[in-house]
């Protein structure tokens, strides 16, 4: 496995670790398993004073992605509800920037860059490499990683910190292939931990 030295210019983005996606109406298989892994990544970035961003799906009650409006999904992540809250046990470092997305009723947004200030926020902090984990591999993680590549960021997908919805059984695998095709690399936590030990 490639050893990675985290450095200034790196940022962590964790997508949608919210109750509805972990235990609620749109729970992703295995979603709870990645929460402690993501906590370790977040702590590793915070220990180096590197920025952490956490996105949340933050819908109005009549969002176009809901079945009642002809969309594909059950009602989920309605802004301000328990379902939209980050899961208990998901530990975000002090100073984490929260990015809310898909906040307009008539617009879906899987990518964290879609209709948000994320690109400007990253550029203002001179971020060049974006490490992306969270939920779900085949939606928010995929579209965020692809947009980040289009915008010129180096992208590392946290292979041990993502889980897929898998509406079709291989959606997650196909998403990972598409991200790699776009130039993203996949890593696991050990790639970072190695250097952590070395750096003391
Ligand atoms: Zn949604």
> Phi, psi (5° rounding) for residue 186?
-105, 140
The pLDDT, as a whole number, for residue 195 is: 46
Annotation marks residue 62 as catalytic = no
Q: What is the tens place of the pLDDT at every residue in 42-85?
A: 999 999 999 999 999 999 999 999 999 999 999 999 999 999 99
The pLDDT, as a whole number, for residue 196 is: 47
Q: Distance between CA atoms of 105 and 39, rounded to whole angstroms?
A: 31
Ligand 1 center to 169 CA (angstroms):
20
Ligand 1 center to 59 CA (angstroms):
7
In this prediction the pTM is 0.95
Residue ranges near ligand 1 (ion) with Cβ within 5 Å: 57
Sheet holding 52-57, edge to edge: 97-101, 52-57, 10-15, 129-135, 154-163, 185-187
Has residue 22 got a pLDDT over 50?
yes
Q: What number is the average pLDDT over the span 84-109?
A: 97
Annotation marks residue 170 as catalytic = no
Dihedral sign, Cα of residue 42, residue 112, residue 167, residue 104? positive
Q: What is the tens place of the pLDDT at every residue in 140-158?
A: 999 999 999 999 999 999 9
Which one is catalytic: 10, 20, 101, 147?
101
Ligand 1 center to 65 CA (angstroms):
6
Which one is catalytic: 10, 16, 57, 138?
16
Confidence tier at 96 by pLDDT (50, 70, 90): very high
């Amino acid at each position: 496995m490639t050893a990675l030295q985290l450095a200034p210019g790196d940022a962590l983005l964790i997508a949608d670790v919210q109750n509805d996606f972990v235990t609620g109406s749109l729970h992703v298989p295995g979603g709870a398993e990645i929460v402690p892994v993501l906590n370790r990544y977040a702590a590793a970035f915070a220990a180096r004073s590197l920025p952490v961003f956490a996105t949340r799906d933050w819908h109005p009650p009549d969002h176009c992605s809901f079945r009642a409006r002809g969309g594909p999904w059950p009602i989920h992540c309605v802004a301000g509800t328990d379902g939209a809250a980050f899961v208990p046990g998901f530990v975000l470092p002090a100073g984490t920037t929260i990015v809310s997305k898909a906040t307009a009723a008539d617009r879906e947004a899987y990518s964290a860059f879609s209709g948000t200030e994320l690109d400007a926020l990253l550029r203002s902090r001179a971020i060049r490499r974006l490490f992306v984990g969270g939920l779900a591999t085949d939606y928010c993680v995929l579209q965020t990683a692809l947009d980040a590549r289009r915008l010129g960021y180096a992208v590392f997908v946290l292979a041990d910190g993502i889980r897929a919805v898998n509406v079709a059984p291989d959606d997650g695998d196909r998403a990972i292939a598409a991200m790699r095709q776009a130039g993203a690399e996949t890593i696991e936590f050990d790639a970072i931990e190695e250097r952590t030990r070395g750096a003391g």
